[in-house]
């Protein structure tokens, strides 16, 4: 039996990749990439001349059986996404599940992901949190948000620049304008910034400032009497 390595790649700064990740990518018999063009830039940067095969949400169900057979034959396969850890709002779950079901060892390397820096930098409680990822774009979106109204843990959402203002307005309508939020943009990149304040303040900020880049929204949970209240006096960037 071979081994499936799930390898995190940088979400911004190229230097965020680990030494172990670089070694695995060099030694693997095959590297599966969400987008071979994007991953090709990373591999070229580190002079890794390995064979890349596309493995993404549009072909993973059809391609997984063949990958599992390669693993059964003894090959070492590394799975990477465009940025961050495969399986976290990216392809990876299906292959990991099928490989595990086939008795193949699956190892995930520790490494980059956007959600952890966003919540740790947010100033909101990070001892207990729930990861929501990308919300449904249409069907079930509002009902899902309604189901989170009483969630006391800090919540983490991913959002595109095209929907971030709409999402913040929906949050304001459902959770209330005074709910604390931290909106992180371009994690680990040159223009990284964090907008902290109430939902009212965050909405006002992005109505005046066009959202650009990739966003992580960290939303405070519903307060209970035992919790210490967290607040930002003014909008902070």
All structural domains of the chain with their residue ranges? 3-108, 115-219
- Predicted confidence (pLDDT) per residue in 111-141, tens digit: 999 999 999 999 999 999 999 999 998 889 9
For 198, phi then psi, to 5°, come to -85, 165
CATH number belonging to the domain at 3-108, selected among 3.40.50.300, 3.40.1010.10, 3.40.47.10, 2.60.120.330: 3.40.1010.10
pLDDT for position 228: 56
- Predicted confidence (pLDDT) per residue in 55-65, tens digit: 998 998 999 99
Average pLDDT value for residue range 46-54 = 93
Cβ neighbour number for residue 222 with a 10 Å cutoff: 15
> 3-class SS at 188?
coil
* Strand duo 76-80 + 30-33: pairing: parallel
Average pLDDT value for residue range 188-213 = 96
pLDDT for position 232: 62
Superfamily of domain 115-219: Tetrapyrrole methylase, C-terminal domain (3.30.950.10)
Q: Residue 94: name the closest of 66, 60, 63 by CA.
A: 60
CB-CB contact of 53 with 31 (8 Å): yes
- State what percent of residues in the chain have pLDDT above 90: 89
186, containing H or E segment: none
């Amino acid at each position: 039996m071979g081994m499936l390595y799930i390898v995190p790649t940088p979400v911004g700064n190229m230097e965020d990749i680990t030494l172990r990740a670089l070694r695995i990518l060099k030694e693997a018999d095959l590297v599966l990439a969400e987008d071979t063009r994007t991953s090709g830039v990373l591999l070229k940067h580190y002079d890794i001349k390995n064979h890349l095969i596309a493995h993404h949400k549009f072909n993973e169900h059809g391609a997984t059986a063949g990958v599992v057979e390669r693993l059964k034959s003894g090959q070492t396969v590394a799975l990477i996404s465009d940025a961050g850890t495969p399986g976290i709002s990216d392809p990876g779950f299906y292959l990991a599940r099928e490989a595990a079901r086939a008795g193949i060892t699956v190892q995930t390397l520790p490494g980059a992901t956007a959600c952890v820096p966003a919540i740790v930098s947010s100033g909101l409680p990070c001892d207990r949190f729930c990861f929501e990822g990308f919300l449904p774009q249409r069907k079930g979106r509002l009902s899902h948000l309604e189901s989170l109204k009483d969630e006391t843990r800090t919540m983490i959402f991913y959002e595109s620049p095209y929907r971030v203002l709409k999402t913040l307005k929906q949050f304001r309508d459902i959770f209330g304008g005074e709910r604390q939020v931290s909106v992180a943009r371009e994690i680990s990149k040159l223009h990284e910034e964090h907008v902290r304040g109430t939902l009212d303040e965050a909405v006002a900020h992005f109505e005046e400032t066009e959202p650009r880049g990739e966003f992580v929204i960290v939303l405070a949970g519903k307060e209970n009497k035992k919790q210490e209240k967290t607040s930002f006096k003014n909008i902070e960037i």
